A and B are shown apart, each in its own frame.
Chain A
């Protein structure tokens, strides 16, 4: 099973809003989605968020950060 720890900084407000919307659509770690490994370009068709909480840190104008963990599901 693979996991990806994704640290995002310098998101603008629109990107942060899109990320939040996607997290809501998944309802935390309940939902399943496809994820493309940014290192290899390999697409993993069945993944989920690791956590039920998304914290968006608004540090300043166009300086929003968040840390996400995406995990590959088994079966």
Chain B
């Protein structure tokens, strides 16, 4: 499986970028102004237009090599949406995409920092550490930012981790009664293509969490709640057969890449 590469900075894209959602509706308007509509499910697609500036020689060569390897539009690859949250069902810890340790109790419907009730409470009722985690299909060698809002009535400690293969990146945070965004970012070296993002609690610990988000970039952006799918698109392709790179100075290159994927 091939993945669209990150830049040396650990980002997938640069500003500005454009994301398009495209549908096709067959629309028949009658004489009286009423209409009949039919959606064409096969025409649904998402498009990204990524404009890169200031690319180093290494970055432009990496991008050009990947475009060559994909033979332009011919081959499919996996694209991690730079505008999305990679986790699926980010506000539904009870969903099956989340693996919950057996002695971890979960209560949902807790008031959250955004004014809703999408926070949830985790209590470790066991004698050993317990965790809540989700695995995504993504490169173990990318830079990631894993973030979640947390609070606890009593001072406690929470560990955020991501794991790929045998390599684990973990960071412990102190949590108090006020909501605080915990952010754990960095880069791993694993060559696996599965990454687990998780929260770990020590025995007897209780914590309220909200806004679980994983991003393929070094720093967090505002939380985006996800539904059935996160921002990982398998079956993406380049939208053009040619890649035009302009050298505008020493170690300074620009280019625009268009990526498309069917469905949503």
Q: Which residues of A pack against B, CB within 8 Å?
A: 1, 12-14, 16-17, 20-21, 23-24, 27-30, 52-63, 73-75
Instruction: Name the CB-closest residue of B to A25.
Output: B227
Check: B19 CB closer than 8 A to any chain A CB: yes
Name the segment of B22-30, B97-105, B172-180, B194-202 touching the other chain.
Answer: B22-30
Query: A13-B221, A14-B222 given as contacts; is B37 within 8 A of A29 (CB)?
Result: yes
Query: A59-B15, A73-B35 given as contacts; is B21 within 8 A of A54 (CB)?
Result: yes
Pull 12 A–B residue pairs with CB atoms less than 8 Å apart, ordered by A: A1-B33, A13-B222, A14-B224, A17-B84, A21-B227, A27-B44, A30-B38, A52-B23, A53-B20, A55-B18, A55-B20, A57-B18
Q: Which residues of B pack against A, CB within 8 Å?
A: 15-25, 27, 32-35, 37-39, 44, 83-85, 221-225, 227, 264
Residues of A contacting B: mostly: mixed
Contact, CB under 8 Å: B33 / A74: yes
User: CB-CB < 8 A to B225: which residues of A?
Assistant: 17
Residues of B contacting A: mostly: loop
Q: Which of A24, A56, A58, A75 is B264 in contact with, Cβ under 8 Å? A: A24
Contact, CB under 8 Å: A58 / B19: yes
Within the complex, the shortest CB–CB distance from B198 to chain A, in Å, comes to: 23
User: CB-CB < 8 A to B224: which residues of A?
Assistant: 13-14, 17
Q: How far is the CA of A50 from the CA of B25 in the complex (A)?
A: 11
User: CB-CB < 8 A to B264: which residues of A?
Assistant: 24
